[in-house]
Structure 1
Amino acid sequence: MEDSSAVVEKLAFGRKLGGEPKKKAVSRSVKAELQFLVGRIRRYLKEGQYAQRVGRGAPVFFASVLEYLAAEDEELGKLLAGVTIAHGGVLLNINLALLPNKAAAAAGSNKSPTKSAAKSPK
């Protein structure tokens, strides 16, 4: 018969109960310092069934090649000039003092639009 501590460890699935809190997950794009999303490229590689298996390094390498081509190839850079990559680039860090007050924004949204704004300019 097993003692109760062994049962508790099995129920914890590799983590001790009451231990340190679980760390926040870090994406593979952040680890590789890439703007292109590695997880999304992996999903497309698997869904496209280009091969039976997709290794761990394949989407990272593919994302880095795509990012390099988008940055360095002039024709491709012109083609992708207006494209916005979801969750890509630098995160906004705006000082809270520069943002408008929530109370002022809520009061401004309650006003009805004026007649001049409702007309279309023709």
Structure 2
Amino acid sequence: MARTKRSENMPKSRRNPVSRSARAELQFPVSRVDRFLREGHYAQRLSSSTPVFLSGVLEYLVSNILDLAGNEARRNGRTRITPDHVKMVIENQKQFHYNIKILGGGKTKPRECSGIVSGDQGVTSHAIMLQTATDN
């Protein structure tokens, strides 16, 4: 089918570009989180919603920490949040302290499993994994 003159002369309608952060109503940069995930090679494939979800989670955690740090600063008679206030919040709040310890450090000593190394009968890797999980 041949194009008509009218369709050739009509300008294409273009929308202004809207960032993925604005579409998701987030302050954290979705595109930057996407770039970090892809550059880090954490997985072979990533869903398009993965960086949006992770940005939302990070924004939620940071807003909670900053809210509590602001309360701590007010309690101390200060108007600005300092790194000390954030540190106090993370150390005093059980949930934040545990998550930061797990995510940030990773400084746990590996356990030696003498049963596997020496070849003893009756000790399986599954039993040792269960024992390790219950110890934590």
More helix by share: 2
Which structure ranks higher in relative contact order (CA pairs < 8 Å, sequence separation ≥ 6)? 1
TM-score (normalised: structure 1):
0.48
TM-score by length of 2: 0.43
